[in-house]
């Protein structure tokens, strides 16, 4: 059983008949095609996890909840990175894939727990077409311990050497913060938490959180 799904994890096992009646038809159709759902940041009752369903169109996104006991498979962003399926992608010339090929060995050499999220991560994990030539490369980095602003600036410089835009989110114990924002000079940064966004001085110390 998968007890603690994290944001951006892809989950299989949600059946269309579990959706409420008001759910859009495309969401039921997607689940009928065994499309995975994406763990999102939102409150959930014990034994449940907040998830999002994505359809074929960009505007087709539906928020719902899933029983943890019904998860049949889980693929994390880090597992997508370890699998390395982008190396055999049919469109290696896409900027996001060229960027991924360039930064992956650098991030591995640094020993970082990084992963691929967004449309490209979804496609690599599920085999379902979701990315396109203009897709950004979305990455996440598990950061259980504080990353200094100087270290964040160094990491940004590494990412900026790659073709295409890379958006990396630092996953702290309390939520996610954009690497580029933490690398800046603002005294407070936006932290995405399970209960909504907060402005914080230090994303690793909840006692410093300010509404």
Q: Tens digits of per-residue pLDDT, 111-158?
A: 999 999 999 999 999 999 999 999 999 999 999 999 999 999 999 999
Q: Is the overall model pTM greater than 0.85, yes or no?
A: yes
Tell me: the pLDDT tens digits for 7-16?
A: 999 999 999 9
**pLDDT score of 208:** 44
Active-site positions read 136, 138
The answer on 94 and 147 residing in a single domain is yes
69 & 153 share domain: no
pLDDT of residue 209: 43
Residue 122 belongs to what domain range?
77-210
Q: How far apart are CA 65 and CA 19, in angstroms?
A: 9
Contact criterion met (CB below 8 Å) for 122 and 115: no
Residues 76 and 9: beta-carbon distance below 8 Å: yes
pLDDT(211) > 50: no
Same domain, residue pair 82 and 63: no
In a domain, 128, yes or no: yes
Quick check: is 3 in a domain?
A: no
Residue 89's contacts (CB-CB under 8 Å, 6 or more residues apart) are 97, 124
* Same domain for 127 and 85: yes
Number of domains in the chain: 2
Distance between CA atoms of 136 and 197, rounded to whole angstroms? 23
The torsion angles phi and psi of 186, rounded to 5 degrees, stand at -65, 135
Rounded distance between C-alpha atoms, residue 169 and residue 177, angstroms: 6
């Amino acid at each position: 059983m998968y007890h603690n799904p994290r944001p951006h994890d892809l989950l299989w096992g949600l059946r269309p008949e579990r959706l409420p009646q008001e759910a859009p038809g495309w969401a039921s159709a997607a689940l009928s095609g065994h499309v995975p759902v994406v763990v999102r940041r939102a409150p959930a009752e014990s034994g449940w996890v907040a998830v999002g369903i994505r359809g074929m169109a960009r505007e087709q996104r539906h928020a719902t909840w899933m029983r943890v006991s019904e998860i049949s498979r889980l693929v994390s962003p880090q597992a997508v990175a370890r699998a390395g399926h982008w190396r055999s992608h049919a469109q290696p010339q896409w900027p996001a894939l060229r960027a991924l090929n360039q930064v992956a060995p650098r991030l591995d050499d640094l020993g970082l727990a990084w992963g691929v999220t967004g449309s490209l991560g979804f496609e690599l994990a599920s085999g379902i077409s979701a990315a396109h030539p203009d897709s950004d490369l979305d990455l996440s980095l598990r950061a259980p311990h504080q990353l200094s602003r100087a270290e964040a600036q160094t990491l940004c410089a590494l990412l900026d050497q790659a073709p295409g835009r890379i958006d990396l989110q630092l996953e702290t114990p309390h939520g996610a913060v954009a690497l580029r924002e933490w690398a800046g000079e603002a005294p407070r940064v936006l932290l995405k938490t399970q209960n909504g966004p907060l402005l914080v001085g230090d994303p690793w110390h909840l006692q410093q959180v300010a509404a």
